[in-house]
Amino acid sequence: MAEPGTARPNDTDPNLEPLFYPTNRLGFDAPLRWLRLGWRDLIRARRQSLTYGAGLVLFGYLLTWLAWDEGHTLALFTLGMAFILSGPVLAFGLYSISRQLEQGRQPRLGMCWSESRNHLRNELLFALVMLVILLVWARAASMVHVFFPIGEELGLIGWLQFLAIGSVVGSLFAAVVFSASVVSLPMMLDRGTDAITSALTSINGVIHNRGVMLLWAVLILGLVLVGFATAYIGLAVVLPLIGHATWHAYRETVK
């Protein structure tokens, strides 16, 4: 286990969980290397990875059907955001596959469930926090309409202001979610840390590698958009790729 961070209040107690773990400085070549390593894992465990990815795609179709059945665009947007925000939790099994490969074992989907169950309490706590953020995000998005007088002709300037405000609000929430989740779930799996320690370590890693993590976020967003553009079909490959790459991001980020 890595040496704990300096945030530990009492270094004389070796059993005391640190507030967060130290992180490495990363180069801008790291995100592309993570994708290459993630692709390698996907190829080495293609059956398990693609099966897992297909399950996530079916889950995405279910969410879309539920929103479409309601007939509300806002519901479709909210459920879409819920799918994205829950991505790190849903990809827990993919981290397990990469971990099994790293340990020289033959990956098994049953082991993914077993390892996920062992950390279920922390996963649920993390998912609950993401749900709260989602609800606040949805509320903030609806409040943006205060600057959007429905029924009036906004004009070009009005539309630009509306889009600017909405983008700023969305970016703030996206930054919080990404920072707290970028390496936290793989860390829970690998080190058995609690949700708070994992999230704070993840945030610490982002703070010390802002440019690199911004590039990583852009790459993830681009890949997910490609998956959406293929009517979710491409997500069967994209999501496992991102999940495996995230494992390697964790391994290189956290000491």
Distance CA 188, CA 173 (A): 23
Q: Closest Cα to residue 98, out of 160, 170, 48, 26?
A: 48
* Lowest-pLDDT range of 19-23, 37-41, 210-214: 19-23
Torsion from C-alpha of 192, 195, 196, 200, nearest 10 degrees: 80
pLDDT interval class at 112 (50, 70, 90):
confident
Answer whether 0.85 is exceeded by the pTM. no
pLDDT in tens, 37-73: 999 999 999 999 999 999 988 888 887 777 675 555 5
Distance CA 4, CA 22 (A): 7
Torsion from C-alpha of 100, 104, 105, 106, nearest 10 degrees: 100
pLDDT interval class at 95 (50, 70, 90):
very high
Q: How many CA atoms lie within 13 A of 39 on its CB side?
A: 6
Provide the residue type at 250 as one letter.
Y
pLDDT interval class at 132 (50, 70, 90):
confident
Provide the residue type at 242 as one letter.
I
Segment 216-243 shows an average pLDDT of 91
Nearby residues of 242 by Cβ (< 8 Å), 6 or more positions away = 38, 87, 91, 220, 223, 224
Distance CA 61, CA 104 (A): 34
